[in-house]
Structure 1
Amino acid sequence: MLRKVKDVADLAGVSIRTLHHYDRIGLLSPASETKAGYRLYSDEDLDRLQQILFFRELGFSLQKIGDILDSPTFDRRQALGLQQKALIEKRERLGLMIETIGKTIKNMEGELDMNEKEKFEGFGFGDNPYEEEARRRWGDGPVDGANEKVQSLGAKGREQLGQQMDGLFQKLAGMRKKDPHSEEVQQAIGEWHDFLNGMGHIYSPDAFRGLGRMYVEDERFTKNMDRYGEGFASFMADAMGIRADHLQD
C-alpha cells in the first residue's frame, strides 16, 4: 500500500517538513511519486522510518542513522532487539528520576529525609553528549587533541578562548541573512575554521563540512547554535559546506 506524505506524517507523529528533510538528505526517499509530484511511501519506507525514529529516540544523529541503515550488514531484527534493550534501560532510568522527584517534594515538605545519594538517583549523564557524538563521527583524535589544548590553557586562557568563540559566533550570526557564498561570509567562516584548527587538530574539508552538517542534523546542536539567532545553525552548515568545497577544488 502506498501512502502520501501527509498520511505518513500523521501516522508516525512527525511533521511533513521532517519527512521532506529526510528525503532531501537521502535518509528516507519515498518509493515513487504521482504524476502531480506527490511523494508515495511504501510499506518498506515505513519500516525504515520506524528505524529512524527509534534511533533518534536513542540520541543518534541523522548521519549516523543513515550510515547504519545503509550498511550491507544491517540486520533489522537485531537492531530492534538492541533498541528494545536500550529503551527499557532508558525507561528504568526515567522511572527512577520520577521517583526521585516525588521523594524530593516530600523532603521539601518535611515528610521524609533524603541523603545525598538519594537526591541523584536516576541521573547518569556522566559523559558529555556533544563529545560522544564527535567521537562517534571522527574518532578520539580530534576530541582528545582539543581537550588537551583547552586544559593546557588554564582558567584564564579558557575564559579568553570562550570569549573568542562567542565573538566569532556573534559576528557570523550577524551575517546569517547574507549569501553564504559571499566573500564577506566566506572570510568570516575561514576565521572559524582557523579557530578550530588551532584547537589541537586540523579539520580536513570533509571533517569541517561534517561538523556543519551536525549543526542541523542534531537538534541539540541546532538549539544551542540558534541561541545566536534563528536559522544560525543552517546558515553555518551552508557556509561551512561551501568553504569545504572551495578547499577541495
Structure 2
Amino acid sequence: MMTVKEVSRLTGVSVRTLQYYDQIGLLHPGTRTEAGYRLYDAATLETLQQILLFRELKFSLKEIAAILQNPHFDREKALEQQIELLTLQKRHLESLITLAENIRQTGGNAMDFTAFDTKKLDEYAAKAKQQWGATAAYQEYETKNAHETTQAQQENARALMALVAAFGHMQTKDPADPAVQAQVQKLQAFITEHYYTCTKEILHSLGQMYGAGGEFTANINAAGGPGAAEFARKAIERYCCG
C-alpha cells in the first residue's frame, strides 16, 4: 500500500488531483486507514495508469469515467486502442519535426501543411470513444446526468456503493435468500433510476466486475467488509441466472 503522497511522488500526479479523482468517483483509493488517510494498492495504480494514458490522448475526465465504468470494459482492448492512438500521435509529431527541420533548412520556404493534418488520429480517437460509449445504456446515462451537479453525482456514487457494500452484512445468508435477492432488486432499481436501464444482462456483467478483483472489488470490500464484493457477485448471479 502507498500513501497519497507516495503515489504523487511516483506518478507526478499532484495530491490535489488524486483527491479530486477520488471525490468525483474516478479513482478511489484501495482502502483507508482508521484515521481516514487514503491508501493505494497495485490494482488502483493500474487504474491510474489507464487514466493517465487516456489523459495523454486528450480524453476528458467524463469520457474516461464512462469508459472505466462501462460493464464491458476490457483492459486489453483499451490498451490496444491506446497503443494505436499513441503510435498515430508519434507519427504526427515526427511529421511536425520533419517539417520544422525542412523550414529551418529552407529558410522558411517549405510550403507544406500536410503535417498539420490530424484527421486520421481524430477519427481513430472518435471511434475508440464510440466503441465504449455508443451503447443505449451510455446514451441514457449521458441524458440523465447532463444537468446533474457534481455534488449530486457524488451522492449517487456514494449511495450506489452503500447498496453494494450492504451485501457484506448478509454473508451469513444464502445468496438465494429473499432478503438478499430483495437487495439485488434495490440495486437494480437504483441503477435504472439514476444511471441507465439496468437489464439483467447488464446487472450480471456488473456483478462479475464487482467480484473479479482489482479496484472495484477492493473498494466494495473496504466499505462492506471482507468478502462483500464476492458475495454480491453470487447474489446478483443468482438473481440474473436463477
User: TM-score normalised to the size of structure 2?
Assistant: 0.50
User: TM-score normalised to the size of structure 1?
Assistant: 0.48
Q: Compare relative contact order (CA 8 Å, sep 6+) and give the higher one, 1 or 2.
A: 2
